[in-house]
Amino acid sequence: MPGTVITVTSGKGGVGKTTTTTNVAVALALAGKRVVVVDADIGLRNLDLVMGLESRVIYDLVDVVEGRCELQQALVRDNRVESLHLLAAAQTRDKSDVGIQQMVSVCKALSQTADYVIIDSPAGIEHGFQSAIAPSDRVLIVTTADVSALRDADKVIYLLERDWKHQPGLVVNRYNAQLSRDGELRDIDDILDILSIDLLGVVPEHKSIVLATDRGQPIALNRRHYVSQAYHNMAQRVMGNNVPLMDFREPGFFNALARLFGR
């Protein structure tokens, strides 16, 4: 049976698509699945950097569709997780260099040998978005709790349901439990009320994610970090396993509380 093609999209840029793609891919691969991540953000590629594989990219997606190399030759294997591969985007080309049908063929071919093909899509709802959605079996929408990200997510959900008959799953990123508890920012239930789609996972706001990204060391590689758990839980849900939402208090929270109350 061919693998599942999953597209990670959002509408608004900078909400965490690339971070989500990378870490969910790492978590699925660590769970023993064969995973290929495809950077569909042509012209603005950065999945290779976030994964820490930039120095090993020789061929990219445009080389594949223009016949300069075989598909297998363009796959960069991750040395840290054996069953994880990257198909990089071209850095200098235009988004329209990869046609929708070409993207479908590439992903279909990849899904013959991979359990999951995960496409990181560009911001917006133009050509790049369409070619990232056309091959997908499942779509994940990433949003943050702020009003502009939610409005863009809502628009994309509408388009996905209307034009593609997709029922996307939601990833709430950069969740700040403290602000939500204090009533300063929407909580998960408010977000679900606004978007009314199924929740796949929640990732807390954490500086370690920024640092890990900057070092090309996805946080999901470090299973001991509590934020990493959010991605491993999402990977489990992608695989169809029922996992409860994690506790969004950092380890040490209870100790700090005990100190505060003099215990």
Query: Which residues contact Mg ion by CB under 5 A?
Result: 17-18
Residues that bind ligand ADP (CB under 6 A): 10, 13-19, 173-174, 203, 205-206, 209-210, 213
The CB-of-154 to ligand ADP minimum distance in angstroms stands at 16
Say which entry of Mg ion, ligand ADP, none residue 19 contacts (CB below 5 to 8 A, set by partner kind): ligand ADP
Residue that has been written with the tokens 């599942």 in this structure:
4
The CB-of-41 to Mg ion minimum distance in angstroms stands at 6
Helix (H, G, I), strand (E, B) or coil at 58: coil
Helices (H) and strands (E) in the chain, counts: 12, 8
Say which entry of ligand ADP, Mg ion, none residue 173 contacts (CB below 5 to 8 A, set by partner kind): ligand ADP
Are the beta carbons of 154 and 194 closer than 8 angstroms?
yes
The CB-of-70 to Mg ion minimum distance in angstroms stands at 27
**Residue 87, amino acid:** L
Q: Which is nearer to ligand ADP, 83 or 144 (CB)?
A: 144
The torsion angles phi and psi of 73, rounded to 5 degrees, stand at -65, -30
The CB-of-141 to Mg ion minimum distance in angstroms stands at 14
CB atoms closer than 10 angstroms to residue 86: 26
Distances (CA, A) of 260 to 83, 103, 173, 178, 256: 46, 56, 30, 17, 6
- Which residue of this chain has its Cβ atom nearest to Mg ion in the complex? 18
For residues 50 and 52, give the distance between their C-alpha atoms in angstroms, rounded to a whole number.
5
Q: Which is nearer to Mg ion, 45 or 186 (CB)?
A: 45
Say which entry of Mg ion, ligand ADP, none residue 186 contacts (CB below 5 to 8 A, set by partner kind): none
Distances (CA, A) of 242 to 41, 70, 201, 233, 237: 31, 38, 11, 9, 6
Say which entry of ligand ADP, Mg ion, none residue 85 contacts (CB below 5 to 8 A, set by partner kind): none
Q: Which is nearer to ligand ADP, 71 or 128 (CB)?
A: 128
Q: Which is nearer to Mg ion, 18 or 213 (CB)?
A: 18
The CB-of-205 to ligand ADP minimum distance in angstroms stands at 4
Are the beta carbons of 135 and 116 closer than 8 angstroms?
no
Q: Which is nearer to Mg ion, 18 or 233 (CB)?
A: 18
